[in-house]
């Protein structure tokens, strides 16, 4: 009887041991699955001021910023060290662009390549302000630098990009991988409604005909009027200096042996004259729309060299606007921008935190900041969970 009881106790012990082993195995497998399907968020900036946006995003996501070191060698070479395993994981690299644009680009490229060689599953760049976006068109004998940068990012290992308010939406076609171009306009429109007193008496202003579509989008959403400042700006490109305005030389038709070097400037054929494009003439500056006794709100995507904005503010003041606001997504505010804003007729400049500008805010109290970390964090969450991004593009049309 005692022997039988002993066998029963032994069987129970073996059963408990097996259950414990299976439980530990399931826990281990679950841990492995979490690790394989997990994600990490890194910041590729070497300066502390540029990591503020990354910290806000990770706080909203409830995750810690990835362990990495980004620094510049004494010879200004960029060095990156990733201090944790990223094998098989989805990695988000947050890179805000400071004044030193080229250094920030190299930091992003080197970190992306380091993660690629560390066997990361997907590498997604979160670049709220995409640099070189203004160089997205061919300028005579120049180059489309934005396309070059897109190719470099793909070569470094990026598989996806989250950005905000590209200078031209067609830039997305430069990339060989998906691009999510988020919009800051909902946050700026909310600021107008909540922070500008009597905004119903405002009018949305485009500082040039090129910015009219963006201004029209704001005006229609706020149910406000629209004004456009029309007038030819100084063109930095000169056909005279470029050599293309030189008259063609006359081809010598007395004889041709087929061995002469071609003339540098030859007429196409004798007796044929190509039509010449009429030269542009700068019209006088005019404001299309009534701004008298109204609050003028100038909207744009980038505010960098503020000369055009200051000139537009002076014109609007002359036409009777009693308050002038500037709304822009990316506040680069280079050179003497804070001083020029402080001394101008502009009452307030409102930008998002896609670009760090804390120093400029200390120099000019007219500069205000709108936080967009919420939409960037939500984009990261949705991409990681495989959810649709359509929610972030509600009521946004092709022209927005």
pLDDT digits (tens, 9 = 90+) for 222-242: 999 999 998 764 444 444 444
Torsion (CA) 190, 193, 197, 203 in degrees, nearest 10: 110
Q: Compute the average pLDDT of residues 120-144.
A: 92
| Measured CA distances, 182 to 18, 63, 186, 389 (Å) | 52, 22, 10, 10
Specify the pLDDT at position 105.
Answer: 95
CA 369, CA 383: separation in Å to the nearest integer? 27
Q: From 3.20.20.150, 3.20.20.210, 3.40.50.2020, 3.40.190.10, which CATH number describes the 184-232+285-370 domain?
A: 3.40.50.2020
CA 108, CA 159: separation in Å to the nearest integer? 13
pLDDT classification of 275: cutoffs 50, 70, 90:
confident
Percent of the chain with pLDDT over 70: 80
Specify the pLDDT at position 283.
Answer: 78
For 285-344, the pLDDT digits (tens) are 889 999 999 999 999 999 998 999 999 999 999 999 999 999 999 999 988 999 999 999
Burial 375-387 (b: 16+ CB within 10 A, else e): bbbbbbebbbeee
CA 159, CA 162: separation in Å to the nearest integer? 11
Whole-model pTM: value is: 0.81
Specify the pLDDT at position 359.
Answer: 92
HEC per residue, the chain = CHHHHHHHHHHHHHHHHHHHHHHHHHHHHHHHHHHHHCEEEEECCCCHHHHHHHHHHHHHHCCCECCEEEEECCCCCEEEEECCCCCCCEEEEECCCCCCHHHHHHHHHHHHHHHHHCCCCEEEEEECCCCCCCCCCCCCCCCCHHHHHHHHHHHHCCCEEEEECCCCHHHHHHCCCCEEEECCHHHHHHHHHHHCCCHHHEEEEECCHHHHHHHHHHHHHHCCEEEEEECCCCCCCCHHHHCCCCCCECCCCCCCCCCCCCCCCECCCCCCCCCCCCCCCCCCCEEECCCCCCEEEEEEEEECCCHHHHHHHHHHHHCCCCEEEEEEEEECCCCCHHHHHHHCCCCEEEEEECCCCHHHHHHCCCEEEECCHHHHHHHHHHHHHCCCCHHHHCCCCCCC
Computed over every residue of the chain, the mean pLDDT equals 84
Which position has the higher pLDDT, 15 or 113? 113
Percent of the chain with pLDDT over 90: 67
Q: Which of 80-84, 137-141, 265-269 has the lowest mean pLDDT?
A: 265-269
pLDDT classification of 265: cutoffs 50, 70, 90:
low
For 192-228, the pLDDT digits (tens) are 999 999 999 999 999 999 899 999 999 999 999 999 9
Decide if 40-182 and 184-232+285-370 have a common fold. yes
Domain 40-182 part of CATH 3.40.50.2020:
yes
Specify the pLDDT at position 140.
Answer: 82
Instruction: Show me where the domains of the chain are located.
Output: 40-182, 184-232+285-370
State how beta strands 68-72 and 39-43 pair: unpaired
- Could you tell me which residues are beta bridge partners of residue 40? 91
For 339-397, the pLDDT digits (tens) are 999 999 999 999 999 999 999 999 999 999 999 999 999 999 999 999 999 999 988 87
Specify the pLDDT at position 266.
Answer: 56
Specify the pLDDT at position 9.
Answer: 52
Specify the pLDDT at position 230.
Answer: 87
Specify the pLDDT at position 50.
Answer: 84
| Measured CA distances, 326 to 298, 309, 334, 351 (Å) | 5, 8, 16, 8
pLDDT classification of 75: cutoffs 50, 70, 90:
very high
């Amino acid at each position: 009887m005692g022997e039988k009881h002993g066998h029963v106790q032994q069987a129970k012990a073996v059963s408990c041991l097996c259950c414990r082993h299976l439980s530990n195995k399931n826990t281990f497998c679950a841990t492995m699955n979490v690790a394989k399907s997990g994600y990490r968020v890194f910041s590729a900036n070497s300066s502390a001021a540029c990591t503020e946006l990354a910290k806000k995003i990770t706080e909203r996501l409830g995750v810690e910023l990835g362990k990495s070191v980004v620094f510049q060698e004494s010879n200004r070479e960029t060095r990156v060290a990733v201090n944790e395993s990223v094998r098989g994981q989805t990695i988000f690299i947050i890179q805000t662009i400071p004044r030193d644009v080229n250094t920030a680009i190299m930091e992003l490229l080197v970190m992306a390549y380091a993660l690629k060689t560390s066997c990361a599953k997907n590498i997604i760049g979160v670049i709220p302000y995409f640099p070189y976006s203004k160089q997205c068109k061919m300028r005579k004998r120049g180059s489309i630098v934005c396309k070059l940068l897109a190719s470099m990012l793909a070569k470094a290992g990026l598989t996806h990009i989250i950005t905000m308010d590209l200078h031209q939406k067609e830039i997305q076609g430069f990339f060989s991988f998906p691009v999510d171009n988020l919009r800051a306009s909902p946050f700026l429109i909310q600021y107008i409604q909540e922070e500008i007193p009597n905004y119903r008496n405002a009018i949305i202003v485009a500082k040039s005909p090129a910015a009219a579509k963006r201004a029209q989008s704001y005006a229609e959403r706020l149910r406000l009027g629209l004004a456009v400042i029309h007038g030819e700006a100084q063109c930095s490109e000169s056909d005279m200096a470029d050599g293309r305005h030189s008259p063609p030389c006359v081809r010598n038709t007395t004889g041709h042996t087929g061995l002469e070097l071609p003339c540098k400037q030859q007429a196409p054929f004798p007796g044929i004259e190509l039509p010449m494009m009429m030269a542009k003439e700068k019209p006088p500056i005019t404001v299309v729309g009534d701004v008298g006794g109204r609050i003028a709100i100038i909207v744009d995507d980038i505010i960098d060299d503020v000369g055009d904005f200051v000139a537009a503010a002076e014109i609007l003041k002359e036409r009777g606007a009693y308050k002038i606001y500037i709304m822009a997504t990316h506040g680069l505010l280079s050179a003497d921008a804070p001083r020029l804003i402080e001394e101008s007729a502009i009452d307030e400049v409102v930008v998002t935190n896609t670009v760090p500008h804390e120093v400029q805010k200390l120099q000019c109290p007219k500069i205000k900041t709108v936080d967009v970390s919420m939409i960037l964090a939500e984009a990261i969450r949705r991409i990681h969970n495989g959810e649709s991004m359509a929610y972030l593009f509600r009521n946004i049309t092709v022209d927005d």
